[in-house]
């Protein structure tokens, strides 16, 4: 039986994705923040975790990206999960009473047009389910939650409006993370961290040209600060080629010859949930 961590409390999208991906022979462990989830893997309190890394509307989830780098963790799978968001409140609540909405940052960002249209104030929580838990506890009819239908069912809340995300085709990408790089999985993509040898005009272009020259398609690029000084960046690059692909070996060798530091974060395939 493996130990798997995810963002709690009960009712989060992370919980739903985790239960769909992993088998029943799993010991579940909930944590209060994405950072806590990743730290649990780093400390070996659990074997693996599942965390959101990207949303089709809100973009990349930096707390996950930074946590992967901070704790030196590895990706062994990614999952595409369709997300529907709803506005919900206590049973006595009506949408006309609502002045404030509560949720986690990415869910708020997925519903900006809806929030602006209604003139709601925003309060951030660590998860969609935590927002539902708080609303139920306070019995405040002037505050509502943006969350999944599972949160409404879990905490006995009433759905005030459905499918409020800015675009109907709303998907979140989750990654399965462990402390050690996995070699026993089907590999179709590779994530790597590239730290340039020096900052100079066109440094990112020169890195990308290596992949272009080898006909390696890129599916994801993210720049994050090195923390050394303002303007210094390192790049997370996801390729549509396995680590075992000969083109990838050539690309890494060329980049290292240029003096860039290359660190593999995993090679894996995508699951559609």
Residue ranges covered by each domain of the chain = 2-81+172-178, 86-161, 189-272
Is-same-fold flag (2-81+172-178; 86-161)?
yes
Q: Tell me phi and psi for residue 110, to 5 degrees.
A: -75, -10
The whole-number pLDDT of residue 193 equals 95
**Are the C-beta atoms of residues 176 and 76 closer than 8 Å to each other?**
yes
Contacts (Cβ under 8 Å, ≥6 apart) of 119: none
Pairing of strands 218-225, 233-239: antiparallel
Beta-carbon count within 10 A of 89 CB: 26
- Percent of the chain predicted with pLDDT > 70: 100
Residue range 196-249, pLDDT digits in tens = 988 777 889 999 999 999 999 999 999 999 888 887 889 999 999 999 999 999
The whole-number pLDDT of residue 184 equals 66
Q: 2-81+172-178, superfamily in CATH?
A: Periplasmic binding protein-like II (3.40.190.10)
Beta strands in 128-227 (DSSP E): 143-147, 158-161, 171-178, 189-195, 218-225
The CATH code belonging to domain 86-161 is 3.40.190.10
**Are the C-beta atoms of residues 171 and 272 closer than 8 Å to each other?**
no
Please state, in angstroms and rounded to a whole number, the distance separating the CA atoms of residues 10 and 30: 8
Q: What stretches in the chain show pLDDT beneath 70? A: 184
Q: Is 124 helix (H, G, I), strand (E, B) or coil?
A: strand
From the options 3.40.50.450, 3.40.190.10, 3.40.50.1980, 3.30.70.260, give the CATH code of 189-272: 3.30.70.260
């Amino acid at each position: 039986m493996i130990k798997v961590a995810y963002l709690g409390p009960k009712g989060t999208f992370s919980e739903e994705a985790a239960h769909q991906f992993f088998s029943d022979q799993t010991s579940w462990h909930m944590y209060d923040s994405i950072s806590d989830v990743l730290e649990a893997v780093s400390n070996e309190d659990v074997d693996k975790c599942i965390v959101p890394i990207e949303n089709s509307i809100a973009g990349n989830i930096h707390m996950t990206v930074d946590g992967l780098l901070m704790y030196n963790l590895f990706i062994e799978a990614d999952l595409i999960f369709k997300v529907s968001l709803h506005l919900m409140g206590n049973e006595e609540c009506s949408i006309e009473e609502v002045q404030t909405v509560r949720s986690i940052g990415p869910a708020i960002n997925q519903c900006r047009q809806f929030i602006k249209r209604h003139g709601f104030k925003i309060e951030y929580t660590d998860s969609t389910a935590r927002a539902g838990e708080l609303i139920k506890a306070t019995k405040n009819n002037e505050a509502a939650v943006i969350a999944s239908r599972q949160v409404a069912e879990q905490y006995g809340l009433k759905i005030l409006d459905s499918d409020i995300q800015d675009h109907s085709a709303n998907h979140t990408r989750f990654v399965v993370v462990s402390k050690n790089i996995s070699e026993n999985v089907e590999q179709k993509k590779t994530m790597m961290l590239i730290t340039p040898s020096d900052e100079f005009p066109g440094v990112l272009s020169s890195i990308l040209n290596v992949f272009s020259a080898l006909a390696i398609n890129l599916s994801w690029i993210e720049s994050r600060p090195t923390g050394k000084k303002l303007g210094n960046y390192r790049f997370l690059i996801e390729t549509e080629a396995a680590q075992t692909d000969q083109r990838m070996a050539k690309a890494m060798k060329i980049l290292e010859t240029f003096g860039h530091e290359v660190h593999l974060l995993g090679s894996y395939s995508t699951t559609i949930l």
